[in-house]
Every structure is written in C-alpha cells, then in structure tokens.
Structure 1
Amino acid sequence: MSNQQSADTQPIQLRVDATDIARAIFWTAQSLSVRGYEDRIVLTLAKWLPAYHAPRGAIDRLAGLRFQAGGTDCRWHRDPDNPFHLIVELPAGAERLDIALQSLSPTESNQGRIMVSDEILRFHWEECLLYPADAPIDTIMVEPVLRLPEGWEWACALDAAREETNGSDVSVLHFGVVDVRTLIDSPVLAGIHAHRETLDQDIELLIVADRADLLPQGRDELECHRRLVAEADALFGRRPFGKYHFLMACSDQIGRMGLEHECCSEEGVRATYFSNWASSTTERDLLPHEFVHAWVGKYRVPAGNFQPDFSRMTNELMWVYEGLTQYYGHVLAARCGLISAELTLQAFALIFATYDERPGRSWRPLGDTDNDPIFTARESQPWQSWQRSEDYYSEGLLMWMEVDVTIRQASGGTRSLDDLMRRFFAPPQADGQGKRLHPRPYDRADLIAALRDVQDHDWEAFFAERVDKVTPHAPYAGIEKGGYRMVWSDRPSGWLADDQSHHSYFDFSYSLGLKMGLNAKVIDVLWDGPAFAAGVVKGMRVLSVGGTTYSHAAMQDAIDSCADGGGTIELVVERLDRVKTLSLHCPVGQRYPWLKAAEDSPRLLDAILEPLFKSSAA
C-alpha cells in the first residue's frame, strides 16, 4: 500500500456550518483530490497546537466520520500507533474523497473550555480539518467556507473574505485559499452583542459580550487599548503583520482564555471587564501579553516550536517565549495606562514573594518547567508549590526584569532590554511594514549573541545559573537594582486585593501557607508550610475557625491573634466523607508582600514603566 503524496495542487474544499449554536455542533463537509494515491490515504487532525505548547488537538471531538469516493463508502481505521492518523481505503481509480463529520464542542466546563453559547462562538478551524499526513502543512492549500447565524458580527485574520446571505437566517463567509498553517492560525470570533473598535488603520478590536450592557460604554477604557498599539509600535519599531485583530469575548459563559496568533489574538475575560472597569485591574495585562506574542513567539519563534507539520514540537525556551512576553505584558500595560505603575509594582512584589517561597525550586530547575503543559495538561495539581507549574511565565518575568536593569546600569542608561526587542524580535527594516511575514526561528545561542550585541555581559552564565540550575531563591536583583526592596505588611496591596475580589479567593500563603476560595474551600497549600504540617490538603472545606463558622474575616481575626509571638489556630475541616479537627501553628500575623522604594538607589523600575510613545498633543 502507498500513501504517496499527490502532485495535484487542488485545494481542499472545507465547508463548516456553525449555526447549530443550541447544541454547539460544527457540521463539516470536506472534499479533496486523491489523485496520485494508490489504495489508501492517511489523513490527520492537527495534533500539536503551538499556542497550547502541548499536543492538545481536538481529536476527541470528531464524530460521525463518513468517507466516500465516487459515491462509494470507504472503510477507514485509526493508526494504532498514532490515533490522530486516520487510514482511509480508496477504491481503484478514485479521484476525490468526500468527508462528512461533526466537531462536538463542549457543552459544560468539565468537558473542556466552552466555545459556544447562545450569544457568542469561538471557532478554531483545526477542530474540523482533516488533511494528508504526508505533506508539509505549508504546501497543503485549503479553500474554507463558514456559515454563521445571520446578523452576528464576526472577525477573522484571513484575507479576501466575501459574505453572502441566503435571505433567511445565515451568513456564508467565503475566504481565500490559504495553507494549513495559516488557516489554523486564524480563528473566528462571532457574536450577537458586539462592538468593533478601530485602534489604528490596520488594527481592530472586536468585542463580543453576553449582553449589550456589558460592552464598553465610555471612551477612556478604549483609549487605553489604542495607546497599547502606540506603545507596542514605540517598543518594537516595526510590525511583523499587515492587519491585526484582537478577538475579545466578555463572558461568563464562554471560557476565559488567552491565545496568541500571528495576525490576531484571542482574549476571553470576565463579563464585567468593561462594565465594572474598576474591578478588572488584574485582567488588563492579557491583551498586552497576547499582542507582544505577535513578535515574541509568532514572528521570532523558538526553533523547536516551528515544524513542517503539527505532529510534533518541543517546548524549549518557554522562559523566553512566555517569560519575556509576561514581562512586557506588564510593562506595556503600565506604559499605556491599562494598569497604573503603582499597581504594576505591587504585582511584581506578589510575583517575587510567590516564586521565592516556592519550595519546589529546591529540586527542580526553572528550565524543566518548560515541559509542564505537555504532561500536566494545565490541570489543577495537588501540591503546586512543590511540583512547580509553568513557572517560566512569572519567574521568567523576574529574570527578564533583571536583564533589563542590568543593561540599563551597565550602559549608564543609554541602552535597555527595549533595544533587544527592536533588534532581535522586530522585522529588519528591509522587510518593511504592511504585510504578514514568515516566522523566523531562533535558538538559545542566537538569543545570547543578540543580547551580547546590546550589552557586553556573560549572558550564557547568567541564564545557566537562573534557568538550568536549582536555585534557592527567585531572581531579586531586578527589584533591588531597580530601586526597590521587598517589605511585608499586615494588609494586602491594592493589586492583591483586586485579584482576590476578582477571582473570589483569599491569600493566607505568607502566614498559614494556604489559600481559601469559595464555599470555604482550600484551593492551595504551601508545601512544608504551617497548614501542610497540620495535615491540611487542597480540596478540604473549612467548617470553623476557633469555634466560629468559617469566613475570611474569622480567619483574619484568628491570624491577627498570633501576631505577637505566634500561636495556634484550630480548624474543623471536611474532606471526602470525614470531618476532623486540625491545630495549625501560626508563626506570625497577617503578612502580605509590597515593594518599597529604596532611598539610596535610582528607581530604574519607574523608568521602565514610563511611556515611550509621545503623542503630538504632548
């Protein structure tokens, strides 16, 4: 048998009906040429999706598979060594293969991220597309068509779409022919309640919401997003894309998310992101983070992440891909006014305290956490502080902050990490602007060489110490040399208070070593902390504190009673079908991290958070 690639260049015809929103089913029909194949063709669904950093292809959602050639049903079976490969037997002389299938989107959160509601849908082409497994994805062409409910606003990064209506209840979108890589990198967002904002002539923000009153009502919030584009331009200098779309859903029905793509990004935030602007502070670094990925991760991509197909990838350099992006997500949020500089410094304090007190750093180096998305599937872990969990994001932030401060100090303020962003992650001047550019892979040696060009320093040893080795503490030099120092207070910072309110938890990590969530449930326990020593585990429900029915306030009062010299707190807890009493030694009172300006040091962190873009009005 042969699965020799066909020389036929006809595009795959892909037609998806996304109007069945009541049942969240995508009905799909495909047709592809099988000329040049002998008695079988091996088809595949995309397995390893770059933005997920893991093999998370939606093969489990495919159903109703039917293959026909010349009107004859074709037998098929799954490759036992690779369940993403479907082997279809072809009749003699077959020229085209017609495929019918459904992609069954989750209808409740325990099945996966909700993508479809009565008002909103997110659609990812890779969930419906089968394509030949033996050809590079950049050479396989697809002509996609998508049907949406009539009247829904939509956006997609694909070019040359034309829209037609059938006069009743659907819109049919015909897109131009694209390769598989581009198609899968171009999701669709659609909704009934929508606001479309032009941020500049080439960048658009589409906001869809559960209700019309949840859409932005004023201009101030939208102006911050417009300044985000200006600040990114001031940082990078040149764009690796022509047009760009922010695909933003404000919803408590559609799952929250952030996914980067080359010419668009997907942001899923709480329904009240705009309607209760004051309470959404700790979500506002999401759009800057995903936008930075257009340069860091999509245009300049770690070599292991850029493969000729979606059958395999590696997760090397996640501390760059995500860690550097996490840093600039916060920096740009401050520069454009989405988050104040004061709150950003408070966020840095919380990040440092979290990762410095993470016991898992005693056995596991930061670089090994690059693998976490592959084998944890981003599911909740019983002992996150000991196991570590994608620490390359925020510990990576601290490391890149140190790089930035190091460059600024060594150069006397004439250079900074911003110079690396322009020189290494932005397109060369010769590429110009206004077009979608082909990704440029790089490796660790390339990055270190580029950093050395910005500032002479032993960067290889720098990263070896912080990425490859077990280290007892999180990077602190960026804070200290940036003009600040860590201090502790008996009250939460504004950033932590906003985050606790927004995500419905209370953080007692730095006194008792645990976090409490809704319904008096323990949502995290610090390994080897006071709660750990007493036998508290994640998932327990706390019934009472010192004889008083549990509340966050009652827990705070109990901790306050231990402020002078420590004390014991008695908890009645429930786990599975057992109730028991635990005694916790509390060594201190309430304790929360802050940053305080150091009187004898230049405040370089303040300079880092200052806007780069100077408007003509200024």
Structure 2
Amino acid sequence: MSRSRLSAAGLALLLLTSTAPAALAQDGPGAAPPALPISLPPIPAVRDVAYPGVIRLDVDATNLSQHIFDVTETIPVAQTGPMTLFFPEWLPGNHGPVGPIAQLAGLEITANGQRVEWVRDTLHPFAFHIDVPAGATEIVARMQHLSPTAGAQGRITMTPEMLNIQWEKMLLYPAGHWSRNITLQPSVKLPTGWAFGTALEPETKDGDVQTFKPVNLEVLIDSPMFAGLHYRQIDLDPGGRSPVRANFVADRAASLEATDEQIQTLRNLVTQMDRLYGARHFDHYDFLIAMTDKLGGIGLEHHRSSENSVDPEFFTGWDTHLGDRDLLSHEMNHSWDGKWRRPADQYVPNFNTPLQNSLLWVYEGQTQYYGQVIAARSGLLTKQQAMDSLAMTAATYDTRVGREWRAMQDTTNDPIISQRQPKGWLSWQRDEDYYSEGQLIWLDVDTTIRERTNGRKSLDDFARAFYGIEDGSYDPKPYTFEDVVAALNGVVENDWATFLRTRLDGHGPGAPLDGLARGGWRLTYAETPSDYQKTLYKELKRNDFTYSLGFQTGDSNNIRSVQWGSPAFKAGLAIGMEIVAVNGRAADADGIAEAITAAKDPATPVELIVKDGDQYRTIRFDYHDGLRYPRLERIEGTPDRLGDILTPRRR
C-alpha cells in the first residue's frame, strides 16, 4: 500500500476514476486482475512537539428537546496545504475503537470565510483530509453532536433535566501531535438556571456561557461535564488537603435529599481511599453523579473525576437499591490504578493510536477488587453484603465453562472484539471476565501475602508501594507485567510471575477460588438466596435459576440467559424464549421456584411450556436437586482473612 500526497479534490477525482480499464489488465487467460493501488493523502506521523496556538471549542448545549449539541471549533493553522483532522476513535476507559463517529453530523469547514472541502480517509474513516488555502491563519469547523433520542440509538447524553458533555464526541483535532501538546479552550452554553460539575477550572462567565481555562487535549477529554436543572454539590473532604466533591444532577429534585449518615458514608469512601494509598495524584477530584432513569447509564473513570449513573432512589431508596453501591469506589480507585499508573501498552500518543489491553486484569481487575473492598470498608456495603456479592461472583466464574477453550487473559481483548455488544451464550463465549475473575485473582494474591507474612502484610502494602508514591505527581506513570511482579516481590518474595500466569492462562476446571479458602471461606449453595441477592435481583427484575435448571428470567418470564451445558441448554432453551406455563399453570417466578422444589421428589418432573416465536413446546426436566443459590460458608479452624480484608482501616 502506498500513500502519496494528494489534494482533497484530487482524491475525489481518483475515487471517481479508480475503475479505469487499464487497472484491470490480466496477465493471461483466467488470471485474476491485479489489486488496485490505493493512493491516499498521508496521515502525519505523531511527533512530540507543540501544536501552535490554542484551539477554541464552543459548545451550545441548549437544544434539549432535540438532544442536539451545536459545536463551533476554531483551529489555528501555521501553514497552508494538506492537513488531517482526527475524530477520536480509541477512547480511554472504553478500551476499544468505539468513538461514536456516526453521531457527528453537519461538518462544514471554512477558512477566510470560504468553504474548505473535506474528504474522509477510506482506510482510516476517523480521519478527514483538507487543504488549508493560502492566507488562512485559522480554520473553523462547525458540526453537531447528535445525542441519541432513544436508547436503541445508543447512550442518551441529553434530557430535559440534565446532560453529559464528553468532549471527545464533539471535536476534531490535528493529526501529527501528541495529545498533551495540543491546547484547547472550551466553553459551554447551558440552559438558563442550570448548574454543572466538571474537573475543568472555570475562567469567565458571560450570561449562560461558561468558559474554562485552557488545557491540553488529553486533560480535556479526561474532564467531562454533568449539568442539570436539579443540582447539588456535597463536600466529601471538608478541610482536606485537596477538594473532593460529589456533583449530583437528578431527574427530580427529591432524589437529591441525602441523610447525614449517607453523606458520612461517602466521606468515609474518601477517607478509606486515602488510608489505602496515602498519596493523591489529583489537586481536586469531582464525582459526577446522575441520579436518573432517563440519561444513559455510565460508569467511567477519569484522573480528576468520574462519570457515574445511579438509580434515582440511590439516597431515597437506600435499603432497597444496591446495584450501584460499589460504583463510586470503583471509579475513584481508577484515579490511582488506570489513570495515574496505567498499563504501558495503553500509554499511546493520541486518541487514534490503537490501545492494547493485555494488563486490564490489573487496571480493571484490581480496581474491581478494591472497589468492593473499599465499598465495605466505607459502609457503602455492609460486610455481609460484600461477602454475599463475592459469593455470587465466585459462583458465576466457577461455572464459566467457556474457560475450557478461552483463557481469562484472552478476555482482555473483548472490548475490541465485541465492543460491549450483547452476547447470546455468555457462559461459553466469555466476556470482559478480567473484571470479576480478576477480582478473584487479586483476592488470591492478597490472602497469599497475608498467609506468607502471618498477617503482617497484605495487598494494601503493594497498593501503597505501587500507586501511593510520588505524592502530588499528575503525569502518567506507565507499568508493565514485570513491574507488577517486582512490586509484589517487594512486599513478599514469591514466584509471582508463575502464580499470575497460571491463573491468567489456565483453563480450570473452575475459577481461581484458592483466595476464598485461604481467606477462611468456601463457596456453597443454599435453597434460598441471600438477603443481598434477593434485594438486588428484585431491583434488577431478575429471577435466577442458573444453578438449578440453568436459566434466568426477567419480570415478564422471558429467558434472559441460559447456562451452557445446563439442563436448560440440553433442553434447547435460548435467550428470548418465553416461559408461559409451569406444571400446567400460568408461569411466574414463584411458580417456577415451587416446581423446582417439588421436583426434589424423584417421581416429580418440572414441566414447562415455552413459546419460541410463534411455536410452543413442552419441555420436561428430569432434575431433582432443588433450588441452588450461592453463599459463603466459614471454614472452621482457619483465620478469617476475608473478614480482615473487609474491615475499615483505622490509619
């Protein structure tokens, strides 16, 4: 493939004439035609030099009814001639090439008041080629970012009550420069009376237009905004060494009503993070929290902030809404793990350079571990709730039969392969298992350290040595697998490389549950769900028969998952089918549970009538082991290391 210099007009002409007969000449009878040469303007190589001038990025976010963000971007230029602009493709925290370029519309570029034609690169469709005309000192790009208006179109980022500005969705940037060397100054026009939270620092305000201090492109994309009509900010570290704030926006003002105890729990989160790491790698930190069932869900990490979507009843339904309890602790943990210290193969020069995900079992897996641990230490979860959650995780991955053909390490490629699309056979295909199976591996590491040092040291010592150094440093500090192993050996000598690779690359059978046993607990099953699972699944409208017949249903008796190799799988059930009757009666979750219990009598089968499209089938299950729900059971006579892990740190 060759890439020659070519004007936008010349490229358009080439594309129109690329099927010229001469290009299809054959060498002889029956020979295939030669491949057509591809000639495109070059995309400049990335150089670590400053881009001249400051790009102005002005966003009008007032068209709430149509969910349209209008964008004007003014880009200074130092020379005329060919120029390439990128739309960000590889998005941090998403771990894949998922920049929503289809939501970019209306792109029109001008210079000196005259239109400048652009041509999209056909090999790299996130790149736009232009020719800057003589005499131009800047170009102006006008465009729209079209937020989805319905969930089927993608994640909704604007509603009548709130919005979420993610800068990477509404800008182009010059190719050929490191992101940290491109400076932008953003401004936003918000609806009158709205307030906002962001890690950006305000500079001036003119009516409804807020202008922020200039930052480099990496910091800008790492600093989204939540804004809304119903807004509340809570100081989570009063008198602390650097501000930590929770910025809430809500569908309804009533959702913002938090008790003193709930606020203290959020403050405990900050305290426990400080006690874990010691150092802070931010001069301020802003939780951005949408209490909504209208704005699209999100949990996304940033260095000085995080984007979080929780149930509108996060505060007002505290006892009955558990699904979001470890979200804030997970995302804040990323300020240390993933943002300040980040995998070396994710430390790339710009947002159109491919990421590699080989260390996501650290980046996300260890964060999943500490997200749950800090949730328990701070009181976001009780110790029992954290243990019940861990039991559910252990059971899920202990029965993840897809490990027979696909090692957990390979699931770090899933954000690129699957791009977070739904799967029909999750237990066989596997998904982003580096999160929660990674959690089990880090429990294994933690309890091993505690065992080998008779409780004198733990994974917390690794965390402080690896992430809690260089207090006040904000520049990213990349790491490799060898760095992780060396830091673990700095805590306690062990063959950590083999320890980790065995668990990352192995095929089972079963999940790595040694950490549970070493922690003083074992996975077992009971005929009733734990209080935590019962409350959580009521909130999620989920009915779980995974460990008995092998399926889950939703509130309408539609099958939501089928465990590969289970009785349900062998009977031919699949996602999307509907259970209409059980043992001759109209189906509901209680009826299915009662039938499974009754079938403990070997003479009693479970009989389901299932609707598959316009077809009905009757299925009989010869299953007699009753209902099974995961629990943790204490191993008598062993140290309760897991209990110690979940106990709040006092210093």
Structure 1 residue aligned with 2:329 = 288
**1:50-129 alignment to 2 at 5 Å?**
50-129=92-171
Does the aligned pair in 1 maintain the 2:523–2:630 contact within 8 Å? yes
- 2:75 maps to which of 32, 37, 46: 32
Matches of 2:83 and 2:288, distance apart in 1: 36
Whole-angstrom CA distance in 2 between matches of 1:29 and 1:489 = 60
Alpha-carbon distance, 1:3 to partner:
6.8
Contact 2:51/2:181 (CA < 8 Å) preserved in 1? no
Matched, 1:181 2:181: no
Residue in structure 1 matched with residue 35 of structure 2 by the alignment: none
**Which residue number corresponds to residue 344 of structure 1?**
386
Secondary structure of residue in 2 paired with 1:149: coil
* CA deviation profile, 1:199-252 (whole Å, cap 9, x unmatched): 014100011111011113311111100000000000000111110000001101
CA contact (8 A) 1:566 1:588 kept: no
1:134-182 deviation digits (Å, cap 9, x = unpaired): 21111111111111112112011012433231xxxxx211111111100
Aligned to 1:155: 197
The residue aligned with 2:277 is: 236
2:257 partner amino acid: P
Matched, 1:485 2:522: yes
TM-superposed CA distance for 1:568, in Å, is 2.5
User: Aligned letter for 1:266?
Assistant: E
Distance 2:556 2:416 in 1: 31
1:212 aligns with 2:249: no
Partner residue in 2 for 1:13: 56
What corresponds to 1:595 in structure 2?
632
In 1: Cα distance, 2:183 partner to 2:604 partner: 68
- Report the equivalent of 2:553: 516
Q: What CA distance in whole angstroms lies between the structure 1 residues aligned with 2:558 and 2:619?
A: 15
1:463 to 500, 514, 518: 500
Pair 1:386-2:413 in alignment: no
The answer for the alignment partner of 1:441 in structure 2 is: 478
1:138 and 1:37, CA in 2 relative to 1: closer, same or farther beyond 3 A? farther
CA distance in 2, matches of 1:56, 1:41: 24
Larger radius of gyration: 2
The answer (yes or no) to whether the contact 2:80–2:133 under 8 Å persists in 1 is no
Aligned to 2:287: 246
Structure 1 residue 418 displacement after superposition:
0.1
Deviation at 1:541, TM superposition (A): 1.0
Distance (Å, rounded) in 2 between the aligned partners of 1:163 and 1:204: 21
Aligned residues: 603
The offset of 1:50, in angstroms, is 1.1
* Separation of aligned partners in 2, 1:550 and 1:180: 55
Q: Secondary structure at the match of 2:135?
A: coil
Distance between the aligned counterparts of 2:626 and 2:345, measured in 1? 47
Displacement after TM superposition at 1:567 (Å)? 4.8
Equivalence for 2:459: 417
Partner of 1:23: 66
| Contact 1:216 1:222 (8 Å CA) reproduced | no
Q: CA deviation at 1:22?
A: 1.2
Given the two structures, how large is their TM-score scaled by the length of structure 1? Answer: 0.95
AA at the equivalent of 1:244: Y
Following superposition, the deviation at residue 427 of structure 1 comes to 2.9
**Aligned-partner residue type, residue 167 of structure 2:** W
- In the TM superposition, 1:267-282 aligns within 5 A as 267-282=308-323
Mark the runs of 5 or more structure 1 residues left unpaired by the alignment.
166-170
Alpha-carbon distance between aligned partners in 2 of 1:568 and 1:293, rounded to the nearest angstrom: 49
Query: Following superposition of structure 1 onto structure 2, how do residues 187-226 of structure 1 map, counting pairs within 5 Å?
Result: 187-200=224-237, 201=240, 202-226=243-267
With normalisation by structure 2, the TM-score equals 0.91
Q: Aligned with 1:279: secondary structure?
A: coil
| 1:158 partner amino acid | L
The answer to whether residue 441 in structure 2 is matched with residue 399 in structure 1 is yes
Provide the C-alpha distance between the structure 1 equivalents of 2:440 and 2:114, rounded to a whole number of angstroms: 60
- Identity across the alignment (%): 39
Measured against aligned partners, the alpha-carbon deviations of 1:494-543 in whole angstroms (never above 9, x if no partner) come to 22112211110111001001001121110000001000000100111111
Distance 2:55 2:43 in 1: 17
**Is the 8 Å Cα contact of residues 7 and 36 (structure 1) preserved in structure 2?**
no
State the Cα distance separating 1:403 from its structure 2 match.
0.5
Aligned-partner Cα distance in 2 for 1:203–1:613:
20
**What does 1:421-570 correspond to in 2, within 5 Å?**
421-428=463-470, 432-433=471-472, 437-565=474-602, 567-570=604-607
User: Structure 1 residue 584: deviation in Å?
Assistant: 2.5
Pairwise CA distance, 1:36: 2.0
Q: How many Å separate the matches in 2 of 1:58 and 1:528?
A: 37
**Please, what is the CA RMSD of the aligned residues?**
1.5
Residue 172 of structure 1 pairs with residue 214 of structure 2: no
List 4+ stretches of structure 1 deviating above 3 A. 1-8, 564-567
* Alignment deviations for residues 27-79 of structure 1 (CA, whole Å, 9 cap, x no partner): 000111222242x2110111101110111112111111111111111111100
